[in-house]
Structure 1
Amino acid sequence: MRTAVTEMFDIEFPILAFTHCRDVAAEVSRAGGLGVLGVVGHTEEDLETDLAWIQEQVGDRPFGVDLVVPARYEGVEQGGLDVEQAHSLIPDEHRQFLDELLERYDVPPLPPDDSSPRDWGPAAPLSGRRAGRQLEIALAYQPALVANALGPPPPEMITQSHAAGARVAALAGRAAHAERHVAAGVDIIVAQGYEAGGHTGEVGSMVLIPEVVDAVAPVPVLGAGGIGRGRQMAAAMALGAQGAWCGSVWLTTEEAETHPAVKQKFLAAGSSDTERSRTITGKPARMLRSAWTEEWNRTDTPDPLPMPLQIMLTGEPRRRIDRVAHHPGSGAEKLTNYFVGQIVGAMNQSLPTRQVVYNLVEEFIEAVEGLQSQLDDG
């Protein structure tokens, strides 16, 4: 396969895989695509460990990193809050709501010797201050791509990435967003439709992709949102995309680090079992519907807080939930969920990551050949 994206990265298939799992990222790169490691939840030490491991596993093959620097968040004027400042802005009402919620669902507190509490470091998560340090670390491992998942990448991200020889991508949910990204100096646009998992906009992929392609040509565009099979990849490329950016489809692979209880929910879920919710990060993000989202949707519950306060509020409660969610029928099992797109309805079998890549390519070829035969018959 030859597109502007395969030539840009010297890869065999125009499949870019967003994942928080280093094993999945490495497997996609080794299979001929480009694995992109989402690092928003990494500590500095974990980030160095994972990138060194990926670099060793993929050899000369390229890989990427995905950061999150929102255009708007609490404390944006000063480049982000420190952790102490952020905690002081969380209302007692929200803490009390979660305390009562976990008590009703019989979710035990973390044990005193628990080693899982997240060390955010001095800077609050999902802020420019934190991402800046992550970028410095990432560039030392020579990624081929640096992506920003929310809003236009800051000028320093683009400048530093280009100086290190990395291309820069940015996700866009509207054509106007894509135009701003290109004006800022971005090399690739990821047109992410409403169907996507995680932070996503309100325009469906079928409409969004050609709008973005027309708006930013000749800058290459990757289609994202609802792409987990080869036919969907072919559709995105027929709309003008130069490849696919896939995220959700890797969550049920054999290598994925998805919580076992959540993975089982994904495997059993249908395409209508997700919703866009602010209940984890503070910005609309598509996730699996569960008792967690239902409780936050009640009319007598507080509204989610802005980013990054919401993710700091929910961090420990979600760790408590995930710690015991493997017990079938438990309150924690009912509450646990994760980000996933509407493609979850087709994610009904756990396969090796490499096999998912090959299945995408094979079905893509079949779809293209099928369309070609229709033209030939005419």
Structure 2
Amino acid sequence: MGSTGSLQTPLCDVLECRYPILQAGMGGVARAELVAAVSNAGAFGCLGMVRESPQRITQQINEVRSLTDKPFGVNLIPAATDPELFRVELDACLRAGVHTMVYFWDVVPDAINRAKQAGCRVVYQVGDVDQAIKAEAAGADVIVAQGVEAGGHVHGTVTSLVLLPQIVDAASIPVVGSGGFGSGRSLVAALAMGAQGIHCGTVLLATHESFAHDVHKRQIVRADADDTLHTDAYAINWPPHSAVRVIKSQSTEPYEQQPFGHHADEMPREQVAEEEGRPVYLMSTDSPLKSMTGELEKLAMFGGQVAGQVTAIDSAATVIRRIVDEAEAVIEGFARSAGPAGDSDSIT
């Protein structure tokens, strides 16, 4: 194991974590056990609480705190949540004194202002340069630049390799790479492009602590990089024309020749599963969770192209350790190749 100082970036100071690795706030999947495991491993965990009740949010925050004393965030999506529900969700987070609010989709300045006034740090995940500029102008502390390779909801249209340096050049606050990042080599690549860390979803979905159902985790492990579909066919529950990336399945076959141009109003409400009495519909944005029963293989198997690098279901700590060890080995290899003049204590 190398020196952890080689991975210290200003992002670590902002979020008070040891490693510049953020866990994506995957709705439903990122619950207390995963969040605590990630934060305990030295990275930054994040609860995925999109459209959850204030009671569940409070319960989940308390559960994380019972499992770790490390900082963590809570992910909400102001632009894709009913305004009244978002208000009470955020109220619950602020009452609980959450360390960091993590937002996604279109930038909503008031959501940033409310969190900042309560003393929270704010991370905003965006898919293009304009949204990054808006987020910084509204007071965000960190920008997550999401490339089109990412799993789950995808807000941008270009690859991380193109988007990340553009946002780094446009922003004066720390920028984090998202989409295709799940290894130590990709962490070093992000740092080389000017980012201060990476944002990982798919590789942490397929962990023991994730609340994803085993059927979803196994699909991630089986998938190759070309086994994903970028589509707006999973339309129920989100604003129109909201793209996602999923692992291809029987449910995606009718849409693979025409992946875009679909609308929730066109989708029949065909119940294929349930969660605690709640119907779960085919082509909704619900992914299979441990709390669901039914034909779970028909649900949205969110996953990014980095799924091709996931070969087993491991613990979150194992995944974080593997990323860190590989990154440090790459950096140490660079230093050895460069000789004494290339030695460095940190990457900033």
Q: Taking structure 1 as the reference length, what is the TM-score of the superposition?
A: 0.76
Question: Does the Cα contact within 8 Å between 2:51 and 2:86 map onto a contact in 1?
Answer: no
**Per residue, is there more helix in 1 or in 2?**
1
Q: 1:305: how far off? A: 2.6
Q: 1:221: how far off? A: 0.5
Find the counterpart in structure 2 of residue 29 from structure 1.
39
Find the counterpart in structure 2 of residue 6 from structure 1.
12
The verdict on how the C-alpha distance between 1:376 and 1:5 changes in structure 2, with shifts beyond 3 A counting, is same
Question: Does the Cα contact within 8 Å between 1:146 and 1:168 map onto a contact in 2?
Answer: yes
- SS of equivalent residue, structure 1 residue 291: coil
Deviations 1:209-239 (A, max 9, x none): 111000012x110111111111001101110
Deviations 1:21-79 (A, max 9, x none): 221111111111110111014222221111111122222x1110111122xx6xxxxxx
Alignment of 1:139-158 (within 5 A): 139-155=94-110, 157-158=111-112
Q: Taking structure 2 as the reference length, what is the TM-score of the superposition?
A: 0.82
- SS of equivalent residue, structure 1 residue 267: helix
**Correspondence for 2:312 among 327, 335, 349:** 349
Q: Distance in 2 between matches of 1:302 and 1:184?
A: 32
Deviates more, 1:315-324 or 1:3-12: 315-324
Find the counterpart in structure 2 of residue 291 from structure 1.
250
Alignment of 1:168-187 (within 5 A): 168-187=122-141
Are 1:371 and 2:326 counterparts? no
| Code of the aligned partner of 1:338 | M
| Code of the aligned partner of 1:128 | P
The verdict on how the C-alpha distance between 1:12 and 1:138 changes in structure 2, with shifts beyond 3 A counting, is same
Deviates more, 1:22-31 or 1:275-284: 275-284
After superposition, the CA RMSD in angstroms is 2.6
Between Structure 1 and Structure 2, how many residues are aligned? 311
| Code of the aligned partner of 2:328 | I
Q: Could you say which structure has the larger radius of gyration?
A: 1
Find the counterpart in structure 1 of residue 275 from structure 2.
none
Q: Distance in 1 between matches of 2:46 and 2:270?
A: 27
Q: Distance in 1 between matches of 2:113 and 2:129?
A: 23
Find the counterpart in structure 2 of residue 324 from structure 1.
294
Q: Distance in 2 between matches of 1:57 and 1:45?
A: 19
Find the counterpart in structure 2 of residue 98 from structure 1.
none
Deviations 1:145-172 (A, max 9, x none): 11111111331x2222112221111112
Q: 1:2: how far off? A: 2.0
Alignment of 1:1-378 (within 5 A): 1-18=7-24, 19=26, 20-59=30-69, 61-70=70-79, 126-155=81-110, 157-200=111-154, 201-217=156-172, 219-280=173-234, 281=238, 282=240, 283-297=242-256, 303-305=262-264, 316-318=280-282, 323-325=293-295, 333=297, 335-376=298-339
- SS of equivalent residue, structure 2 residue 180: coil
Deviations 1:241-289 (A, max 9, x none): 1111111111110111212212111111101111112222441011111
| Code of the aligned partner of 1:348 | T
